[in-house]
Structure 1
């Protein structure tokens, strides 16, 4: 090979490695870069552009929906455990207590902490969590829809475009479901109950499965649900058996956490309209009926169609 060709090959190799190293440097800069966001409480938070280790207790549905696997998952000891309906998506993800102890959060080594409610960071807690990792409080409260919260979570992890795709797909599913329900269950009313420790709870019309049934699917809301929802201070409100006697729902979806509850043997229960008509559909703690989010609601829609359009 003559000297001129050798010089040309050498120049090509030099340019190649320069471009390669430049690309690597650019990639590393991108991975380590940050964005400034203002959270729902007005905190200015410098969040990673591409977070790798996210703690988002009770926000897992939203995170999984946009392709982010959190480093820990929400749990409650001696109660409902974990969000079982997400177990395939959260396989091998360790649990963390719902109260988010500082030590446990530190051990998870997060590069971003997402908080689902203002109350989680009150009384000086925000400054404690902020010492562990950038802490972002997502939109929350009675006037915040699950869609708003979902999009805010997506914004925090830089997945807004993906979230919009998820919502577009979800809305198409809702429209299809409403068409089927209007044909086969038009004008029928529904209610969701949760029974645990021989006590009954009814879902609020603006929370959890209530938001799906009455908001998205536009199914008829029984008068008792309206009555309870007006005074509701949480997603689920306690309701006496005597009150349930007035429940005139055509269909009841029951999250049954107490299969041997004495109340199921009471004549008041057996004479509830939907129970008497054989339109009581039971689900366990492993179902999505107590939760919210695009994954939970997609599963619920499938179950509603299965039960109400036989």
Structure 2
């Protein structure tokens, strides 16, 4: 009886010891797993240097992003901002409203109080001017703030790649650029068969002035670089000295416009037919041949990005290629 009792006691002690060892093992395993998780989170939080030389600690998975006037890039990468660029309360990037219609507006100059009210966890600024006069320091107190810089903002592909890097979506940015370039190449071949070496220009017509696009910015890059259309001498001369995306053209210069095709953004408040009746317009080759195509301020012609430029390509094809 004593032998049996001793065996039972020994068995009970062994079982208790096994439970303790198992519990310690689970605790160690859980502790190790937590350490790995923390390590992964730390690894995902990257420190990037922006265009101003600021070291920015970018959160691993930002959920509330303000990137005013960079919304084209965000949407291209599958990201929606917490607020969208606007001017004078109503003006927005109309061509993006199929995806941004429900997104609240924020003034284009990003007032500190407005930014703070949206509680962003990441702020991306296009140019250094938006961070000037102490604004960067103010924004940085709200959330990590990254400045892309003018060098990249004048090249939508580089700007998209920069935004992609900040958001950890470098691959998606590269794929979007490749898809766009393929679309442009296919369109270029179609247009070559129809237009050949004839010239084209893009104009922005307002109540007070006429602006011609720069040959290396905005829709100018689409027409001349991506689609391979020939550049009128008038556009070439203005682009040499003009510094903006769109540069005003005097009526004397406009009278010399040697474009066979015109793509105009009409903000004058009159019809295309009324514009064409002006004697100066009437002497332009594109007008004589009825090769004038009109778009309103809902279109993407005043903007740049994979979405904007893709829509421009669609506009050119639907206008010219019958």
Matches within 5 A, 1:91-106: 91-106=101-116
Write the deviation string for residues 169-211 of structure 1: whole angstroms up to 9, x where unpaired: 1111111111111222110211010111242111111111011
Distance (Å, rounded) in 2 between the aligned partners of 1:129 and 1:22: 36
Query: How far apart, CA to CA, are the structure 2 residues paired with 1:248 and 1:234?
Result: 21
Q: 1:54 aligns with which of 62, 65, 69?
A: 65
Kept in 1, the 8 Å contact 2:153–2:159? The answer is no
Instruction: Using the TM superposition, give the Cα deviation of residue 263 of structure 1 relative to its aligned residue in structure 2, in angstroms.
Output: 5.7
Deviation at 1:265, TM superposition (A): 4.0
Normalised by the length of structure 2, the TM-score is 0.85
1:212 maps to which of 185, 206, 222 = 222
**1:41 corresponds to 2:44:** no
Deviation at 1:64, TM superposition (A): 0.4
Q: Which residue of 1 aligns with 2:148?
A: 138
Answer yes or no: is 1:83 the counterpart of 2:93. yes
For residues 256-275 of structure 1, the C-alpha deviation after alignment (integer angstroms, 9 at most, x for no partner) is 11232886542112222212
Unaligned 5+ runs, structure 2? 1-14
Identify, as 1 or 2, the structure richer in helix. Answer: 2
Partners in 1 of 2:42 and 2:224 — Cα distance? 42
8 Å CA contact 1:288, 1:296 repeated in 2: yes
Which residue of 2 is the match for residue 254 of structure 1?
A: 264
SS in 2 for 1:104: helix
Counterpart Cα distance in 1 of 2:276 and 2:69: 31
Who is 1:69 aligned against? 80
Is structure 2 residue 120 aligned with structure 1 residue 114? no
Is 1:177 paired with 2:187?
Answer: yes
Task: After TM superposition, give the deviation of residue 248 of structure 1 in Å.
Answer: 0.9
The alpha-carbon deviation at position 26 of structure 1 amounts to 3.1
- 1:156 aligns with 166
Distance 2:175 2:38 in 1: 26
- Partner residue of 1:277 out of 280, 286, 289: 289
Secondary structure at 1:141 match in 2? helix
Which has the higher Rg, Structure 1 or Structure 2? 2
Question: 2: CA distance between counterparts of 1:181 and 1:283?
Answer: 19
Counterpart in 2 of 1:26? 37
TM-score (norm 1): 0.88
After the TM superposition, which of the residue ranges 231-240 and 32-41 deviates more from structure 2? 32-41
Select between 30-39 and 162-171 the one with higher mean Cα deviation.
Answer: 30-39
Change (3 A) 1:54 1:183: same
Q: Secondary structure at the match of 1:88?
A: helix
**8 Å contact from structure 2 (residues 89, 105) kept in 1:** no
Q: For residues 288 and 143 of structure 1, do their structure 2 counterparts lie closer, same or farther at Cα, with a shift above 3 Å needed?
A: closer
1:225 equivalent to 2:215? Answer no
